Structure 1
Amino acid sequence: MATVNVERTDDGGFVATNDRGARVAIGGGDDGGVFTPVELLLAALGGCEIVTIEPLTAKRGHRLVRLAVRVEAEKVEPTKLGAVTATYEIELPAGDDEAAAVFEAVAHRVHEKYCTVGRALREPTETIQVLP
């Protein structure tokens, strides 16, 4: 089970804390130095995919020199996102003619099957329960 605690801070901001003590500041779009909830969702998707892709490509002997992802989504309504786009920036190892094909195959499988966050966005999940 994954658990995160989100609470208001003394200064009126918000912070999410996981069971291991890591913290992420959360705020509105005008707050500097913090993530908005939508940005956290996009970071979760990009993070889920990239932390799964990297070890799988390296395990196949094709460690990429650079691997980054930019995740974008436009709000099509005040409380609804449109299409989410993940654009990868990669630098292939010099002399490795197979690295691009391995990356593409792994990235596709991760996107379709192995990224929990992506699956949660694409497939219906059980209803969220709000308990007092």
Structure 2
Amino acid sequence: MANVRVERTDEGGFRATNARGAEVLIGSGDQEGVFTPVELLLAAVGGCNIVTVEPLTAKRGHRLVRLAMTVQAEKVEQNRLGPVTVTYEVEVPSEEAEEVFRAVAGRVHDKYCTVGTSLQEGTEVRLKLP
């Protein structure tokens, strides 16, 4: 089970902490040094894709020279995002590596990225109050 604790900090912002002690600061778009909740969602989509694509491509014998991505979405309503677009920036060592990368990236997007699949399928979010 994935578990993250989110709490208000003494400075008035918010901090998300995982069981391994990693922290991410959360706040509004006008604060320096923090992610907004929407940015964290986009980072989760990108992170899920990239941490899956890279080792699967390498496992097939192709180490990518450079691998990065940009993840974007626009709000289409006050509380709703439009489509999320993942754009890879990749430098490959050969045509064969590019073919492998494209195949792997497509499969990861369609089937193996838990975050992206959950968004596409509309995972239920439940509320539990004390």
Q: Same fold (TM over 0.5)?
A: yes
Identity %: 71
Gaps of 5+ in 2: none
Aligned partner of 1:121 among 87, 110, 119: 119
Cα RMSD (Å): 0.9
Q: Specify the code of the residue in structure 2 equivalent to 1:111.
A: H
Paired position in structure 2 for 1:24: 24
Paired position in structure 2 for 1:111: 109
Paired position in structure 2 for 1:34: 34
Paired position in structure 1 for 2:85: 85
Q: 1:30 Cα deviation (Å)?
A: 0.3
Paired position in structure 1 for 2:14: 14
Gaps of 5+ in 1: none
Paired position in structure 1 for 2:63: 63
Q: Specify the code of the residue in structure 2 equivalent to 1:120.
A: S
TM-score (norm 1): 0.95
Q: Specify the code of the residue in structure 2 equivalent to 1:83.
A: P
Q: 1:131 Cα deviation (Å)?
A: 2.6
Aligned residue for 1:83, secondary structure, equals coil
Distance 2:125 2:87 in 1: 30
Aligned residue for 2:46, secondary structure, equals helix
Distance 1:22 1:40 in 2: 14
The answer to whether 1:130 aligns with 2:128 is yes
TM-score (norm 2): 0.97
Paired position in structure 1 for 2:53: 53
Q: 1:82 Cα deviation (Å)?
A: 0.6
Aligned partner of 1:100 among 98, 101, 115: 98
Distance 1:108 1:7 in 2: 36
Distance 1:124 1:80 in 2: 13
